[in-house]
Amino acid sequence: MTDGHPRMAESACEEVLVLDFGGQYSQLIARRIRECGVFAELLPHDTALERIRERRPAALVLSGGPASVYSDGAPELRRELLELDLPVLGICYGMQAMVHVLGGRVEGADAGEFGRTSLVLADGGGRLLSGLPHEQQCWMSHRDSVFKPPPGFVALASSPGSPVAALESPARGLYGIQFHPEVVHTPYGTQILDRFLREVAGLEQRWSPASVIDEQVQRVRAQVGDGGVICGLSGGVDSATAAALVHRAIGDQLTCVLVDHGLLRKNEAQQVVETFRDRGIRLVHVAAQERFLQRLAGVVEPEHKRKIIGEEFIRVFEEQAAKLPGVRFLVQGTLYSDVIESGGDGRAGAATIKSHHNVGGLPEDLDLELVEPLRMLFKDEVRAVATKLGLPEGIVWRQPFPGPGLGIRIVGGEATAERLEILREADAILQEEIRAAGLYRELWQSFCVLPVVRSVGVQGDGRTYAYPIVVRAVTSEDAMTADWARLPYDLLERVSSRIINEVPGVNRVALDVSSKPPATIEWE
């Protein structure tokens, strides 16, 4: 097992460690630093000092967090972290913890500051904020405030609720800001991070998603030697990018397997097959529709469907793997968000991905070593890598799609060939219209659902007794929460009339106007 780190050990590329004190924006801090061209990784705030030292980071960032430094069980900032002779930037809670530990004054206020807040610089902004407007907007989210900096620190700014909204001690390399530079509502936020990285930490702009390609190519070659490698393709951007990257490294040592369970969207399998064959990548396309349909006969309950589809997928995949002699490695499109969610950092072993997201993924008991070239990347970085690798737009920007596919979007009844056909055709019309309206990339997901109920309609001269199709379109950042998309009425009208006119077996179209929570994105 390797750590899958995109930077080679001997690479001169420096990194920033973001210590996570539980803030909702911690991942975003790492992303913004990477956007500034510096590699950043998120680690738990209590990571052993020894491990932090071993990494030899160029700087530390202390994230925000929901606690008060005075509350029981508040995450502790160890003083030693401030004495590693590294530049440190504390953000929100990170700054308060720094001030508290170094003898400044942090106090609870009755009313905190939440949302857009006006920030006024003092002393020309000092080293960290110099060159910025005297008065600017920033985004705050805190209850406690800093009232007095620790000895040796200078206050750099204030806001209505924060007498000290930024401070620094350049001699000790310590800096703090009460506001959130990582969110878009702090217009100068990226500039401030950039200043910390370049002026304070002396870092150069070296890292980019594209630089990952060269590094991973070397790393994959070193990991697999002349061993055979297998990769399951789902049609999604993650597995496609991982496969394309590994293929660049080891060419024909890689064989991709596309298990077509008959639950994919219209033309999806075909597009993947064409894309990969055009690139000269070995691909086995397993047409397993019949097998899956047989196993799904009579199955109504969604968890049961998921289980059957997952099991059958593994069986088919194993059969294929057994036909490929010398295969010792399995490529997986694990992303950094999966690694973080499962509590591991990028260097510590494999992520245990939630079973939820694992359906249609990998057989667990295959005796294969994992190759995970995207393990340190955020989704948007994967898209940048995919584009750089020349994957087509239709794959690069494909919306997320559940492993059990259309099988779980037939709700309250069995997934039969007839219903799958109806759903696939309706879904294709929706996708076509959403793309034509230029909305595809803006939506987290847009899809159709087929509830297994029928109702009366009238079409031409006769009555119909047919299914409804529910249109579900959501916006979201990470699928944890989602809002229903306000699709234009004329678009909805086109979608509705096309589905009813062009898809036999449908006589109504309804729109789902629920957010998550309390609903979920998928029906099932």
Site string for ligand XMP, 500-519 (x = CB under 6 A): ----------------x---
Cα separation of 35 and 301, whole Å?
44
Radius of gyration, CA atoms only, the chain: 26
* Pairwise CA distance, residues 15 & 328, whole Å: 32
Distance CA 445, CA 307 (A): 23
Catalytic residue among 5, 41, 45, 92: 92
Sole window of 52-60, 216-224, 274-282, 398-406 interacting with ligand XMP (rule: CB under 6 A): 398-406
357 binds ligand XMP (CB under 6 A): yes
CB 180 within 8 A of CB 64: yes
Residues with Cβ within 8 Å of residue 405, at least 6 apart in sequence: 261, 263, 264, 265, 309, 360
Annotated active-site residue in 45, 100, 180, 247: 180
Residues 167/99, Cβ–Cβ less than 8 Å = yes
Alpha carbon distance 421, 442 (integer Å) = 27
Tokens of 123: 């002393």
Please tell me whether residue 306 binds ligand XMP under the rule CB under 6 A.
yes
Q: DSSP secondary structure string, 242-256?
A: HHHHHHHHHGGGEEE
- For residue 522, the minimal CB distance to ligand XMP (Å) is 3
Q: Using CB under 6 A, which of the segments 2-10, 49-57, 213-221, 354-362 binds ligand XMP?
A: 354-362
User: Could you say whether residue 257 binds ligand XMP (CB under 6 A)?
Assistant: no
Among the listed residues 82, 71, 100, the one whose alpha carbon sits nearest the alpha carbon of residue 19 = 82
My answer on whether omega of the bond before 163 falls inside 30° of 0, hence cis, is no
**Among the residue ranges 41-49, 50-58, 325-333, 351-359, the one whose residues contact ligand XMP (CB under 6 A):** 351-359
Annotated active-site residue 180? The verdict is yes
The single residue among 400, 413, 451, 457 that binds ligand XMP, judged by CB under 6 A, is 400
According to CB under 6 A, which one of 28, 86, 92, 359 is a site residue for ligand XMP? 359
Q: What is the DSSP string of 261-291?
A: -S-SPTTHHHHHHHHHHHTT-EEEEEE-HHH
End-to-end CA distance of the chain: give it in Å, rounded: 36
d(CA 440, CA 432): 9
Binding to ligand XMP (CB under 6 A) within 309-338 occurs at none
Closer Cβ to ligand XMP, 78 or 516, answer by number: 516
Q: Judged by CB under 6 A, how many residues of this single chain contact ligand XMP?
A: 14
Q: Compose the 436-465 pattern: x for residues touching ligand XMP by CB under 6 A, - for all others.
A: ---------x--------------------
- Judged by beta carbon, residue 356 or residue 486, the one nearer ligand XMP is 356
Scanning 22-30, 52-60, 400-408, 425-433 for contacts with ligand XMP by CB under 6 A, the matching segment is 400-408
Q: Are 316 and 291 in contact (CB under 8 A)?
A: yes
The H-or-E segment that residue 135 falls in is strand 135-148
Q: Per CB under 6 A, which region of 134-142, 259-267, 355-363, 370-378 contacts ligand XMP? A: 355-363
Per CB under 6 A, the list member of 363, 404, 468, 505 interacting with ligand XMP is 404
Q: How many CB atoms lie within 10 A of CB 368?
A: 19
- Beta carbons of 29 and 54 less than 8 angstroms apart: no
Q: Which two tokens stand for residue 407?
A: 């099988």
Q: How far is the CB of 266 from ligand XMP (least distance, A)?
A: 17
304 tagged catalytic: no
Q: Active-site residue 142, yes or no?
A: no
Candidates 278, 356, 438, 460: give the one binding ligand XMP (CB under 6 A): 356
- Which residue type occupies 329? F
Choose, from 182, 215, 425, 433, the residue flagged as catalytic. 182
Scan residues 465-504 and list those touching ligand XMP (CB under 6 A).
Answer: 479
Please give the Cα distance from 219 to 65 (Å, whole number). Answer: 35
Task: Give the interface segment with ligand XMP, choosing from 56-64, 73-81, 373-381, 402-410 (CB under 6 A).
Answer: 402-410
- Which residues contribute to the site for ligand XMP (CB under 6 A)? 306, 356-357, 359, 400, 402-404, 445, 479, 516, 520-522
**Which residues are annotated as catalytic?**
92, 180, 182
